[in-house]
Amino acid sequence: MPEERHESQEPSLRGLSVAGLILIAAIIVAVVVCLGLMNLFGGFSGPLARAEHNTMPEPRLQPHPLSDRARYEARQRAMLTRYEWVKRDAGIVRIPIDRAMQILAERGGPAGTTGATAPAQKERRPP
């Protein structure tokens, strides 16, 4: 009867050494290729490396977007919270939104609409 053999639980030192050397060689090749490409395209002195010094041509559309947005939101909030003439000749005035909702709740909406229900939509069936 032949003797049964099992694979050893220990990893092969030779296999690990070969895999490590292959990995180190691949890293060295990648670094050499990157350095060669940088040298070919001008390295850190080329135009791409100096892009921070080249400003965008005119017109610069929005140099400060966060402060622009804050100013825009402040204007919108102010419109919703103050009284103002829109067309004095026609008697059109802007009122705060809280007051407008209060008036609508007291008097109701425009003629022919109800505030509680939305108009029913036709049921659409897929083809």
**Secondary structure string (H, E, C) spanning 7-31:** CCCCCCHHHHHHHHHHHHHHHHHHH
Structural domain boundaries enclosing 32: 14-45
Q: How confident is the model at residue 38 (pLDDT cuts 50, 70, 90)?
A: confident
The mean pLDDT of the chain is 80
SS3 93: strand
Tally of domains within the chain: 2
CB 49 within 8 A of CB 43: yes
Task: Report the alpha-carbon distance of residue 41 to residue 54 in Å, rounded.
Answer: 18
For the chain, state the CA radius of gyration.
37
Q: Does residue 127 lie within any of the structural domains?
A: no
Please state whether the predicted TM-score (pTM) of the whole model is above 0.85.
no
Given a cut of 80, is residue 30 above it in pLDDT? yes
Q: Does residue 2 lie within any of the structural domains?
A: no
CB 68 within 8 A of CB 62: yes
Note the pLDDT of residue 125: 54
Q: Does residue 91 lie within any of the structural domains?
A: yes
